Amino acid sequence: MRAVRNFLCWMFALGAVVFLRSSLFSFLDIGSWPDAHLPPTILSAVIRTALPVLGVVYALACWSFWTGKASARRWGLAASAANTILGCLFLYMDRRFLTAPATAFLNPDALLLGFGLAGIIAFRRQDVIKAEQLMQPLPGDGTNAIVNRAIWIAGTGGFIAGMNWWWRWAEANGLGWIRRSFFHDLLLLLLLELLMVALHECGHAVAGTMLGMKLRAFVVGPFQWRMREGQWEFRFILSGFLAIGGATAVAPTDPNRPLWRDICMVAAGPAVSLAAGLAAFWITLAAPGHPWQQDWLPLSFFTTLSLLTAALNLIPFRTKGFYSDGARVFQLLSRGPWADLHRVFSAAAATTVTPLRPRDYDIDAIQRAGSSISIGQQALHLRLLAASYYLDRGCIADASQALAEAEAVYQESASDIPAELHTPFIFGKAYLQHDAEGARLWWERMEARKPLHNADYWIARSAFLWSEHRLNEAREAWEKGNALVQQLPHTGAYESDRDYFALLHKELELSGLAG
**DSSP-assigned states of every residue in 305-357:** HHHHHHHHHTS--EETTEE-HHHHHHHHHH-SHHHHHHHHHHHHHHTTTSS--
Rounded to 10 deg, the angle between the 492-514 and 471-485 helix axes is 160
- Give the pLDDT of residue 103: 38
Q: How far apart are CA 245 and CA 212, in angstroms?
A: 25
- The runs of H, that is alpha helices, within 26-136 are 40-66, 72-93, 95-99, 108-122
Three-state SS at 45: helix
**Residue 167: closest CA among 61, 284, 36:** 284
Residues paired with 323 in a beta bridge: 318
Q: What is the DSSP letter of 227?
A: E
- Give the pLDDT of residue 121: 82
Sheet (strand 246-252) strand order:
231-236, 223-228, 213-220, 246-252
Whether domain 337-514 has CATH 3.10.590: the reply is no
Low-confidence ranges of the chain (pLDDT < 50): 26-38, 96-106, 130-135
Contact of 110 with 104, CB cutoff 8 Å:
yes
**Residue 76: closest CA among 148, 22, 160, 6:** 6
Q: How far apart are CA 507 and CA 487, in angstroms?
A: 23
Residues paired with 233 in a beta bridge: 226
C-beta neighbour count of 91 within 10 angstroms: 18
C-beta neighbour count of 185 within 10 angstroms: 16
Domain with CATH 1.25.40 in the chain: 337-514
Q: What is the DSSP letter of 211?
A: T
- Give the pLDDT of residue 132: 39
Positions of E strands within 70-172: none
**Predicted TM-score (pTM) of this structure:** 0.77
Sign of the alpha-carbon dihedral angle for 251, 494, 228, 340: negative
CA angle at residue 511 from 510 to 515, to 5 degrees?
120
- Give burial (CB, 10 Å; 0-12/13-18/19+) of 472: exposed
Three-state SS at 242: coil
C-beta neighbour count of 92 within 10 angstroms: 13
Residues paired with 236 in a beta bridge: 223
- The runs of H, that is alpha helices, within 422-470 are 423-427, 436-447, 455-467
Rounded to 10 deg, the angle between the 296-313 and 145-172 helix axes is 160
Q: How far apart are CA 84 and CA 65, in angstroms?
A: 19
Residue at 498: amino acid letter:
R
Residues 6+ apart with CB under 8 A from 187: none
Sign of the alpha-carbon dihedral angle for 331, 337, 339, 342: negative
Phi/psi zone of residue 221: left (φ > 0), alpha (ψ -120 to 50 degrees), beta? left
- Give the pLDDT of residue 22: 66
Rounded to 10 deg, the angle between the 145-172 and 40-66 helix axes is 140
The full DSSP string for 246-274 is: EEEEEEES-TT--HHHHHHHHHHHHHHHH
Three-state SS at 129: coil
